[in-house]
A = this chain, B = another copy of it.
Amino acid sequence: MKKRLLILIGALFIGLWSAGLALAQDPGGAATLEANPQSPVDYVWILVCGFLVFFMQAGFAMVETGFCRAKNATNLMAKNTIDFVVASLLFMAFGFAIMMGQDYNGLFGTTGWFLRGSDYDVGRYLMFFWQLVFAGTAATIVSGAVAERLKFRAYFIYSAIVSLIIYPVYGHWVWGGGWLSKLPFGVGHVDFAGSGVVHTVGGFVGLAGAIILGPRFGKFAKDGKPKAIPGHSITLAALGTFILWFGWFGFNPGSTFSAHQLRIAVVAVNTNLAAAAGAFSALVLVFLKTKKWDVGMMLNGCLAGLVAVTAPCAWIEAWAAVVIGLIAGILVVLSVYFWEARGIDDPVGAVSVHGINGVWGLISVGLFADGTYGLATTNEPLVRGLFYGGGVGQLIAQLIGVGTCIAWAFGLGFIMFKIMDLCFGIRVSPEEEIKGLDIPEHGTPAYPGFYTMNS
Give me the interface of A with B, judged by CB distance under 8 Å.
17, 24, 27-30, 32-33, 37-45, 47-48, 50-52, 54-55, 57-58, 61-62, 65, 69-71, 73-74, 77-78, 80-82, 84-86, 88-89, 92, 114-116, 120, 122-123, 125-126, 128-129, 132, 152, 230-239, 241-243, 245-246, 249-250, 253, 259-266, 268-269, 272-273, 275-277, 279-280, 283, 290, 292-296, 298-299, 302, 317-319, 322, 372-374, 379, 438, 441-453, 455
Q: Are B47 and A268 in contact (CB under 8 A)?
A: yes
Point out which of A70, A132, A438, A446 has the most chain B C-beta atoms below 10 A from its C-beta.
A446
Q: Give 5 pairs: A residue, B residue, CB < 8 Å, sorted on A.
A: A85-B280, A126-B265, A230-B449, A232-B450, A449-B453
Which residues of chain B come closer than 8 Å to A294, judged between CB atoms?
442-444
Residue of B nearest to A276 (CB): B88
Q: Cα distance A373–B28 when bound, in Å?
A: 5
Residue of B nearest to A321 (CB): B92
- Which of B78, B123, B444, B450 touches A265 (beta carbons < 8 Å)? B123
- Which of B24, B77, B132 touches A234 (beta carbons < 8 Å)? B77
Point out which of A128, A238, A246, A263 has the most chain B C-beta atoms below 10 A from its C-beta.
A238
Which residues of chain B come closer than 8 Å to A438, judged between CB atoms?
234
Which residues of chain B come closer than 8 Å to A264, judged between CB atoms?
29, 43-44, 47
Known: A82-B283, A122-B265. A293 touches B249 (CB 8 A): no
Which residues of chain B come closer than 8 Å to A82, judged between CB atoms?
279, 283, 298
